[in-house]
Amino acid sequence: MCCRQSLFDQLVLQESMEQESMESNRVCGYDWAFIVHFIAISIGHLNHSNIKLDYGPFKYLFNNPIMHLYHHAKELPNSFKVGANFAISLSMWDYIFRTNYVPTPNKNIILGFKDDQRMPTNFLAQLFYGFKKGD
Question: What does the pLDDT read at residue 44?
Answer: 86
Q: Which amino acid is at 22?
A: M
Are 98 and 76 in contact by the 8 Å Cβ rule? The answer is no
Question: What are φ and ψ of residue 31, in 5° steps?
Answer: -70, 145
DSSP 23-45: HHTEETTEEHHHHHHHHHHHHHH
> How far apart (Å, rounded) are the C-alpha atoms in residues 80 and 102?
12
Question: What does the pLDDT read at residue 1?
Answer: 46
pLDDT in tens, the chain (135 residues): 455 667 666 666 666 656 655 556 666 767 888 888 888 888 888 988 888 888 899 999 999 999 998 999 888 899 998 899 998 889 999 999 999 999 887 668 888 888 888 889 999 999 998 888 775
Full-model pTM: 0.66
Q: What are the boundaries of each domain within the chain?
A: 8-129
